[in-house]
Amino acid sequence: MKQALAALALLATLAVGVLHAPTPALAADKQRLVLQVSDNDPAKWNLALNNAQNVQQALGKENVEVEIVAYGPGLNMFKNDSKVAARLNAALDAGVTLDACGNTMKKMKVGKDDLIAGATIVPAGVIHIMQRQREGWSYVKP
- How far is residue 76 CA from its own chain's centroid? 19
Q: Please tell me the number of Cα atoms within 13 Å of 136 on its side-chain side.
A: 11
Q: What average pLDDT does range 84-110 have in this prediction?
A: 97
Residue 49 banded pLDDT, cuts 50, 70, 90 = very high
Instruction: Determine the pLDDT at residue 90.
Output: 97
Instruction: Determine the pLDDT at residue 1.
Output: 56
Segment 102-119, tens digit of pLDDT: 999 999 999 999 999 999
Instruction: Determine the pLDDT at residue 3.
Output: 55
Residue 130 banded pLDDT, cuts 50, 70, 90 = very high
Round to whole Å and give the CA distance between 27 and 29.
Answer: 5
Round to whole Å and give the CA distance between 140 and 142.
Answer: 6
Positive or negative, the CA dihedral 55, 116, 83, 78 is negative
Specify burial of residue 94 (Cβ count, 10 A radius: 0-12, 13-18, 19+): middle
Cα dihedral value 93, 94, 96, 97, nearest 10: 30
How many CB atoms lie under 10 A from the CB of residue 123? 9
Record the pTM: 0.79
Segment 54-78, tens digit of pLDDT: 999 999 999 999 999 999 999 999 9
* Cβ pair 56, 64 in contact under 8 A: yes
